[in-house]
Structure 1
């Protein structure tokens, strides 16, 4: 019985809020926004060892790279090691950067070569600053799908080189 007494009161309060112009607030849909890094890792062609050229380079499957981001006090705020797929492509979401006051990943983050699974192509090169730390580039690539949003930054392309280089024949 008591519930019937409160029903008109509930109706009147909602009618009052509509008449006065108090907006009805629907539940907020949480949209997760992530920063992600993508890039390619190659095995440099023997003919171009010692240069930054990737002409004739082949993708290096399962190569590992590291991604490090520093905060506003130049301390490492985020570190992640990532393995490339079968085509030498890597993609890594970086969560929690906003907790460390990292506003611009292009200024705060860099990617370095870690290791190569190929014994014939496992020497680090500094192509696109692969050993020093390749800065991220903003290519204005955004992905939005089902409450998920990602700002994707690019690094590299990075390269290992062969450990053995056959001598050139001059005749």
Structure 2
């Protein structure tokens, strides 16, 4: 890379009839570090004296001719030092700090589905009820404009328990799109022919709201926030009159 250095002849007020030769680029610095370097230039550079008349009448070329060869060598040597202080690395890329992996935070909805006993038909009680395996529920989320923004169907395990991970769920609005406000769980189907009628226990028919139970799961750059719904329940298609109902489950 070629470096062009322009010299300027200036008069230093602190020395009568004294002139200096300095790089013009040094005179344009405004930051504190550059001012310090300009001070070094003023302090270290070789100067020479000339009479008042000659100073006023001489041209820059004539003034330069009056400088001794030793003074020129000192100037050139100092300019080399100045360039060494300012290495030409302005276009080199600045190393970027390593990126920190973002922690993924998932929303999980859990709950249990039962077959409600005929003994509690018409109530929201699931006491004494049996869990249903392979029952299907759905998680439906709507945005702040009441549009469906997320849907997921999930089946229960042998204990009637469902664990629905809402992969890809996003909140467009910090409050109205929050799972507690936007997501509900509905009953879909039961594999039991003897217990496949929907009930509205905990609003499973129209949409059971979620509630937060302060449960979280942590992993490597992973975190899951657990919400619960229900319990939910199906019921038998036919229940005998209450007078004939015993404690046996359907």
Q: TM-score w.r.t. structure 2 length?
A: 0.56
Cα distance in 1 between the residues matched to 2:223 and 2:143: 22
| 1:132 maps onto 2:206 in alignment | yes
How many residues are treated as equivalent by the alignment? 148
| 1:169 maps onto 2:244 in alignment | yes
1:64 aligns with 136
Q: Deviations over 1:17-75 (max 9, x none)?
A: xxxxxxx8343123211011000000001100111111111111110001100111110
Call closer, same or farther: CA 1:169–1:103 in 2, change over 3 Å: closer
Q: 1:141 is matched with which residue: 215, 218, 237?
A: 215
- In structure 2, runs of 5+ residues without a counterpart are 1-88, 90-95, 246-250
| 1:79 maps onto 2:151 in alignment | yes
Call closer, same or farther: CA 1:59–1:169 in 2, change over 3 Å: closer
2:108 aligns with 36
Q: What's the CA shift for 1:163? A: 1.2
Which consecutive segments of 4 or more residues in structure 1 shift more than 4 A? none
Call closer, same or farther: CA 1:107–1:99 in 2, change over 3 Å: closer
Cα distance in 1 between the residues matched to 2:172 and 2:158: 33
Q: TM-score w.r.t. structure 1 length?
A: 0.80
1:90 aligns with 162
Partners of 1:77 and 1:100 within 8 A in 2: no
Q: What's the CA shift for 1:99? A: 5.4
2:233 aligns with 159
Cα distance in 1 between the residues matched to 2:218 and 2:97: 24
Larger relative helix fraction: 2
SS class of match (1:156): coil
Q: 2:192 is matched with which residue: 102, 105, 118?
A: 118
- In structure 1, runs of 5+ residues without a counterpart are 1-12, 14-23
Q: Relative CO higher for 1 or 2, CA cutoff 8 Å, sep ≥ 6?
A: 1
